[in-house]
Structure 1
Amino acid sequence: MGTIQCYSSYLSENDDIALTGLATASTNEFAEVVLGGTLAIPAAVVFFGVERTQELAANSFDLAFAVMPVLFQQLPAGQLFGTLWFGLLFIAGITSSLAMGQPLMAFLQDELKMSRQKAAITLGVTVFLLVQPVIFIMPHFMNEFDFWAGTFGLVILATIEIVLFTWVFGIHRAWDEINKAADIKVPIFFKYVLQFIAPAMLFVILGDYFYNTLPDVILLRGDSKPSSPEAGQMIQLARLMLVGMLVGLCALVGLAWKKQSGSDHGGTLNEMRREPSTLPEETD
């Protein structure tokens, strides 16, 4: 979610948000849902059956790396198509990683005053170290990171953002910003979707999940019970890493806030110290 805010900060006042957002979202969903779904899911049904496909469909990682290799083995020129498929997946992954890294790059440069080279090295080394458990302790770390950051976290952040955008910032100001310099006119119906329907649906979904499912997920019981004690230990370790990363990010934000406040405070003190010298000298 932070990626959207980061890139939106580079927009000019008269950039078209409505048409650009529609084109971007439509193209992305067509490629991921329509094209990806029509290839992977029917193939999974053919080779694994309906029940197994339902299990695989719960994890996009399994669909891409468990189903598609089997499909390519059965196709003529399967090695060629497999190379193209995983090459495109690599491009999609690396570009997404670069996009998600930009908010941290901007933070290190703007708030901690690092050079771009130093910020890139710091971010690269940090990411390299943090992904090692994901690589060598599969699938527990991957599943936990994907769930808390890519599934649960998205819904939480979406709820916070839509409340801030439509109720704190104000729906009238928000609607004006959406339609400013737009080449298409967004139907007025979506104004009420943003203000009432979307927040209500998100709160209902979260309320039901918090009440019925989240306790079992946190306590690793019921459907979330790990397959073995070792798996449970790996899951807890992954969660500790996530908490550690969150605490580390909060500490960096606090450090940047403190530096900025100190700079402002120091500047004010310096101005106060300079004030006497700017007063005109008394003359008889």
Structure 2
Amino acid sequence: MEQRDRWATKIGLILAMAGNAIGLGNFVRFPTQVAGNGGGAFMVPYFAALFLLGIPVMWVEWVQGRYGGKYGHGTLGPTFYLMARESLKPKSALIFGLIGGALAFATTTLLNSYYLHLIGWSAAYSWFSITGAYFGKNTAEFFGNYLTNHAQVFLFWGITVVLLGIAVGQGVSKGIERWVKVMMPLLYVFAIILVIYVFALGSPLGDPNWSTIKGFEFIWSPNWSYLREHLYEVLLAASGQIFFTLSLGMGIIQNYASYLGPDDDVALSGLATVSLNEFAEVVLGGSIAVPLAVAYAPKIVPPEVLAQGSTETLNWIAGEFGLGFSYTSLPNIFVEMGTAGRFFGALWFLLLWFAGFTSAIAMYNYLTALLEEDLNIKRSTGTWIVFALYFILGLPVVYIDGYLDQVDAWISFQLALLALFDIIVAVWLFKPDNFWEELHRGAYIRVPGFYKWITMIVAPIFLIFPLAGTFTDLIGKTLGWPARIAILAMLLIGAVETYYAIKKKYGEELEKNEVIIKV
């Protein structure tokens, strides 16, 4: 078997995995979920979801990736097939391979079709901040004008995706690993500088009722009454956030883990990935946007809302928070800072760009690995094929109103669905004892035995919340024909490609319906 590329160093692997997990979800989506779900009320179910869902599924995906890599596979379809063979005949195992391959392909293509544009927005606003382009202007109108200036949108999108293609085209050890070793430390440095500034800011408008400390109190004071009244909604939001923040249910953790050796640790490495991500999200991501918004509330909240008191003001901020808030209201805050606002505005948006870039690079590599391993297309060529694919899939995001939200609603459902299949295949079909043995092969730590039962039983039950909730949300959104066509096309292409990949290597097995290739 031809030797696949591998991570050159353990720190490179951990930083790459952390970069994969740390994205816009940490610095934009997390504050949005906290603000919109009662502040401190959100944090209790969030940590419950982390320990009962996030950590076990993270270990499942690391195990899957290393196991697939042992057979030379970095994509999910063949890996699902190989693990399902432990309980099923090859022809039946093929069904699970097709499901895994179709869902992973659709995720990495559809998610990046709009995620790359969001990263491009961040690159643009880094430039707009340092040049002061939106200073002295209506920031909402400025953002709207930017979105309709398609030449500018594609310019910053293009800069981002070309750099991604260069990084991925250089390979895992000589490309991705080298890039994340620079970008991840810088990301943490940028975030820590911003957090220190926020802590020191206090009450910038001279009113103690509106300070960064009030923002921290909103996040970290448990709101038990709100949680009792909105338990299901908050639990749904918390469990959904865990998928986004840890990049679960995408197939890209498995892709990165496939470049491990067969006896390389996955237990401690998986836990380290979670820890770095949570530090970035909870400690750093939770300490910038919301406290800033509360401190500058009188400058960004309508006077009639502000007059109703702090509760209504916080509710308004919660309702407005999100991507639009980041590109309209937060720039107003940077304007209020004066000259320093140009620096801190550029730092904030550069932080978002770095976070998005290190996540997108993993999805980019998944598709490049698929072309390289299954279709024998050179990596350097494959990266530009992926570039062209992303350009085509990104056109509806720019030109069709509502398309981004529709595809995003589908992706939210699909992440939870693929995570459920992760557990079905890697734990139940692969067999729980085999999974537990694989998790501890070469492990630096011993995982507590109760986590075996959490992974087998509790995690799948917990998955009901994001699955049911996002499915309900999906039904509530009318998917237009462009979104339907894109979703169905990517699922179909993913299934066909997976069938080809499995048939090419395991055709004799499928024909005889018995396992022949075993490593």
- The alignment status of 1:194 with 2:455, answered yes or no, reads yes
Q: How many residue pairs get matched? A: 244
Distance 1:174 1:33, change over 3 A: same
Per-residue deviation, 1:16: 1.6
CA, structure 1 residues 184+43, in 2 after alignment: closer, same or farther (shift >3 Å)? Answer: same
The one-character-per-residue Cα deviations of 1:137-181 (angstroms, maximum 9, x if unpaired) are 45x2222232222x2111111111112222111222212222222
Q: Is the 8 A contact 1:104 1:123 kept in 2?
A: yes
* Alignment correspondent of 2:476: 216
Structure 2: tracts of 5 or more residues without a match: 1-249, 302-312, 510-519
* Residues in 2 aligned to 1:73 and 1:136: alpha-carbon distance in whole angstroms: 30
1:55 aligns with 2:319: yes
Match of 2:482 in 1: 237
Distance 1:215 1:96 in 2: 28
Please say if residues 264 and 442 of structure 2, whose CA atoms lie closer than 8 Å, have aligned partners that are also in contact: yes
C-alpha displacement at 1:205, in angstroms?
Answer: 4.7
TM-score, with structure 2 as normaliser: 0.43
Tell me, in whole angstroms, the C-alpha distance in 2 between the residues paired with 1:5 and 1:156: 16
- Rate the CA distance shift 1:136–1:126 in 2: closer, same or farther, 3 A: same
**Amino acid paired to 1:8:** A
Structure of greater Rg: 1
* 1:201–1:7 Cα change, 3 Å: same
Q: 1:112 matched to which residue of 2?
A: 375
- Classify the secondary structure of the residue corresponding to 2:288: helix
1:109–1:115 Cα contact (<8 Å) kept? yes
* Alpha-carbon distance in 2 for matches of 1:66, 1:131: 23
Q: What residue in structure 2 maps to residue 21 of structure 1?
A: 270
Distance 1:194 1:42 in 2: 36
* Contact 2:413 2:467 (8 Å CA) reproduced: no
Mapped contact 1:144–1:239 kept (Cα < 8 A): no
Measured after TM superposition, the shift of residue 191 of structure 1 is 1.4
CA distance in 2, matches of 1:254, 1:165: 19
- The equivalent of 1:153 in structure 2 is 414
Could you tell me how far apart the structure 1 residues matched to 2:363 and 2:483 are? 20
| TM-score in terms of structure 1 length | 0.75
Q: Tell me which amino acid in the other structure corresponds to 1:55.
A: G
Q: Partner residue of 1:85? A: 348
**Correspondent of 2:403 among 141, 145, 150:** 141
Shift of the alpha carbon at 1:261?
Answer: 6.8
- Residue 257 and residue 196 in structure 1: after superposition, are their counterparts in 2 closer, same or farther (change >3 A)? closer
Q: C-alpha displacement at 1:198, in angstroms?
A: 0.7
Report the alpha carbon displacement of residue 255 of structure 1 after superposing the two structures with TM.
4.3
> C-alpha separation between the residues in 1 aligned to 2:328 and 2:423?
36
Counterpart of 2:426? Answer: 165
Assess, with a 3 A threshold, how the Cα gap between structure 1 residues 130 and 207 changes in structure 2: closer, same or farther: closer
Q: Which amino acid in 1 is paired with 2:256?
A: Y
2:314 alignment partner AA: V
For the structure 1 residues 75 and 175, does the alpha-carbon distance in structure 2 shift closer, same or farther, using more than 3 Å as the test?
A: farther
Give the conservation status (yes or no) of the 8 Å contact 1:144–1:238: yes
Report the counterpart of residue 247 of structure 1 in structure 2: 492
Q: Percent identity?
A: 36
**Secondary structure class of the residue paired with 2:445:** coil
Query: Which moved further from structure 2: 119-128 or 248-257?
Result: 248-257
Q: Distance in 1 between matches of 2:266 and 2:414?
A: 25
| Kept in 2: contact 1:159–1:203 (CA 8 A) | no
> Quick one: structure 1 residues 29 and 68, their matched pair in 2 at CA, closer, same or farther if it must change by over 3 Å?
farther
**What is the aligned partner in structure 2 of residue 44 from structure 1?**
293
Q: What one-letter code is carried by the residue in structure 2 that aligns with 1:141?
A: Y
Q: Over residues 82-122 of structure 1, what are the superposed CA-to-partner deviations in whole Å (9 max), with x where a residue is unaligned?
A: 11111121122222211111121111111111111221111
Q: What per-residue deviation string (whole Å, max 9, x for no partner) do you get for residues 172-210 of structure 1?
A: 221222222222222222111111111112135534665
Instruction: Provide the residue aligned with 2:141 in structure 1.
Output: none
